[in-house]
Structure formats: C-alpha cells, structure tokens
Copies of this chain bind each other. A is one copy, B any other.
Amino acid sequence: MVHLFNAGPAKVPDEVKEQIQSEFFNFAGSGISVIEISHRSPEFTALMNESNVNLREILEIPDNYRILWLAGGATGLFSSIPLNLITSKDDVLDYVVTGTWSKGAAKEAEKYANVNYVVPIPADFTGVPLEESMKFTPGAKYVFYCDNETVNGIEFPHILKTDSTIVCDMSSNFLSRAVDVQKYGAIFAGVQKNVAPAGLGVLIIREDLISADRLHQVPKVWDFKLQDAANSCLNTPNVFSLYVTNLVLKHLMKNGGLKRYSELSRQKSSAIYDIIDDSNGFYACKIDKDARSRMNVTFKLASKDLEAEFVKKAADLKIEGVKGHRSVGGIRASLYNAVTMESVNYLGDFMKSFQKNHE
C-alpha cells in the first residue's frame, strides 16, 4: 500500500475508487460507462443536479449563490474572474499576494485591469500579512486572495477582514473546513487537490455578480451568465471529474461532514508540525505559526542531499509525493481529506526514525 502525500492531483478515498471501478461499465443502471454517457442524458442531468444539491448542503450555500462547474481549474479561473467582473476601465482590483498562486492570479488580472497590491509582494513567502499593513482600495471591484497557498504551505487562519467584495481561491483547502459563504462574493477551486481528478473547476458566486455587463469580451465557455443559464452545460462538461466529485461529496457527508474533516485536518497537520517543532531544528518549517497550512506541511532539512535522502528513504517505505515544489525545494506533505490518520502516523514514524538515524 502506497501512502500518498501528493499536492495535486492527489489522493482520492479508497472507497470512492472502489466504487468507480466496480460500476465502471454501468453508470446509474444505464448499462453505459460514465465516460460514455451524454451530457444531455437524464442520468447526467441527475448527476449535475445532485452534485449541486450535495455541495450546497455541505457548504451551507445560501440560495442567492450559484454554482458553476467549468472545464480546467484555478489557473483558467484566474482569467475568467476579472473578465466577468470588470465593468469599467476605471475598475481597480485588490490582490493580496501570499504565495505562488495569488501572485499568478494577480499577474493574470493585470492583463485586464488595474491591479493594486494590498501589500508589497514579499521576496520570500512566510505568512499572511498583518491586517494593519494592508492598503485596500476604497471602491475596489473586489479583493482577491488565496486561502491556502499549496507551494509554500501558507493558510489564512480566518477570513480576510475587508469591506470589499471578496473573491477567494480555495483550490487546496476546499471542503476542509466550514466556510461562511455569505461573507464572500465568490469562492472557487480546482477540484484536483482536495476533491477529484484534474480538469474541473467549481465556482460559487453571489448571483448579483453574474452579469452580462462586462468591459471585455468573455470567451463563451467562461461566460458566467451563459454557463449559469445552461446549468454549466453550455459546452460539454468534464463528466468524469464531476462524477467523482459527487462521489467524494457523498463520501464526505457519510463520514461526518465538514465538522469531522476540519477536526481531522487539525489533528493530521498538528501531528506533523509537532514532530517538526520537537526535532531541535533537524526539521525546520519557516512559516509563521498562525499561518501554517493544515493542508500542505512544508519543511526543510539541513542540506539538499539530506532532503534527497529523505525522499528516497520515504519512497523505499512506500511514502510518495513528499518532494517539495520545484520552485522552493524542501519537503512537502499534503494532507488533504483523503489522506488518513494512519498514513500521517506512518509518515510521522518515518520522520522520527529518519532523524534518529541521521543525528
């Protein structure tokens, strides 16, 4: 058995994979594989509706919010959001940059509007900015931030405090804790980190933000108004990813919902952070304690050679996916919902034993 700590695409619950495999030739009693069903079939329409109902229930999404499922993932949504929300050439967009992803989103938005960086982009990402340091633009079209930065392992401890409309990228901590949706204008996520296979993004957006009044031309597949009217089926959707997403939503509800997974995320990440903090510096996490991600635990060892040995020895024990992002190096263990406490303890035991053998 492989203990998988991939940052995304990432682990899917074994029970869900077993169901996919067992019903692969027969989706919803149709006698047809889920990869062959038409997106205009009653079976698919039922799947789409059920996914919306389930997501609405899990996240307690208010009635005045719409759910869109769009091909691609967060990087595409980085472009589609300003394209849909900008209504005037004078619009200012506020971006809070705390890592690779929010920085990428801001650069993409700069193609279409004036972007104000609420805090200067730091040379190195180690936490979330102090509230008093943030300079929001009065009347900004929206404030954008990334709730969890996967590369560096930085997570906001709470929602950003601002009076502006918030647009939040939750790709890597989506469905890992309860969210007060009504405090956001829009929440989006690529599903491939904490939910399902790559190639699908989900957008939860307050309905008054969906409008045909836009400054720029919006490509049809990203037109929120058209996609909303078409129940996310203006073009052929990613049927398979939506199917797995819905299975994961049901799995999550059956196993205690967000309350349970939120508690599990805390326990799993604490287990690893405790080992780091008790290691006398053998393992070092440079992220501020209040901004340490529950999803992506990042740390370094004394040298690149030692890190390479850590990754190799881990692989020998079937611990996979712990190499840090290529842009920052080090080690990263991603502890998404599907990663079990058993796997986390297995990793923890390895970390302790590896330290013992190298001190």
A residues neighboring B (CB under 8 Å): 1-2, 4, 6-12, 17, 20-21, 24-25, 30-33, 35-40, 71-76, 78-80, 83, 104, 108, 111-112, 190, 192, 196-200, 217, 219-221, 234-241, 244, 318, 320-321, 326
Q: Quote the shortest CB–CB distance from A18 to chain B (angstroms).
A: 9
Say whether B36 contacts A12, CB under 8 Å: yes
- Does B17 lie within 8 Å of A236, measured CB to CB? no
A12 proximity list for chain B (CB < 8 A): 33, 35-36
A–B pairs, 8, beta carbons within 8 Å: A1-B31, A9-B39, A9-B236, A12-B36, A17-B35, A80-B219, A108-B220, A111-B219
Task: Kindly identify which residue among B32, B78, B190, B240 contacts A4, using a CB–CB cutoff of 8 Å.
Answer: B32
A108 to B7, CA, bound (A): 36
Report chain B residues within 8 Å CB of A108: 219-220
Q: In whole Å, how far is A330's beta carbon from the nearest beta carbon of chain B?
A: 15
Instruction: Please name the 8 residue pairs, one residue from A and one from B, whose CB atoms are nearest each other, closest first.
Output: A199-B238, A79-B219, A75-B235, A71-B72, A111-B217, A35-B197, A2-B31, A199-B199
- C-alpha spacing A192/B239, complex, angstroms: 10
Complex-state Cα separation, A31 to B198, whole angstroms: 19
A71-B199, A72-B235, A199-B238 given; name 14 further pairs at CB < 8 Å.
A6-B36, A11-B36, A17-B25, A17-B33, A30-B320, A31-B320, A39-B198, A71-B71, A75-B236, A79-B219, A108-B220, A111-B217, A198-B236, A198-B239
> Which residues of the other chain, B, contact A104 by a CB distance below 8 angstroms?
220
Q: Within the assembled complex, what's the spacing in Å between the Cα atoms of A236 and B26?
A: 28
Q: How far apart sit A321 and B74, CA to CA, in the bound complex (Å)? A: 33
> Bound complex: CA of A150 vs CA of B99, how far in Å?
44
Q: Are A38 and B24 in contact (CB under 8 A)?
A: no
A315 to chain B, nearest CB (A): 11
Shortest Cβ gap from A272 to chain B (Å): 20
> A87 → chain B, closest Cβ, in Å?
17
Tell me which of A21, A25, A238 has the highest count of chain B C-beta atoms within 10 A of its own C-beta. A238
Known: A71-B72, A75-B234. A9 touches B36 (CB 8 A): yes
Smallest beta-carbon distance A42→chain B, Å? 12
Closest to A78 in B: B220
**Docked-complex contact B73 and A236, CB < 8 angstroms:** yes
* Set B33, B192, B240, B321: member contacting A236, Cβ < 8 A: B192
- Nearest B residue to A237, CB-CB: B198
- B residues near A21, Cβ cutoff 8 Å: 21, 24-25
B33 touches A199 (CB 8 A): no
Greatest chain B CB density within 10 A among A17, A25, A71, A326 is at A71
Pair A221/B9 contact, Cβ less than 8 Å: no
Partner of A219, one of B40, B76, B318: B76
Partner of A20, one of B17, B24, B76: B24
A33 → chain B closest CB, angstroms? 6
Cα–Cα distance between A249 and B298 once the two chains are bound (Å): 39
Contact between chains at A237 and B199 (CB < 8 Å) = yes
| Nearest chain B CB to A339 CB, angstrom units | 11
Contact A9 B31 (CB under 8 A): no
Q: How far is the CA of A40 from the CA of B334 in the complex (A)?
A: 15
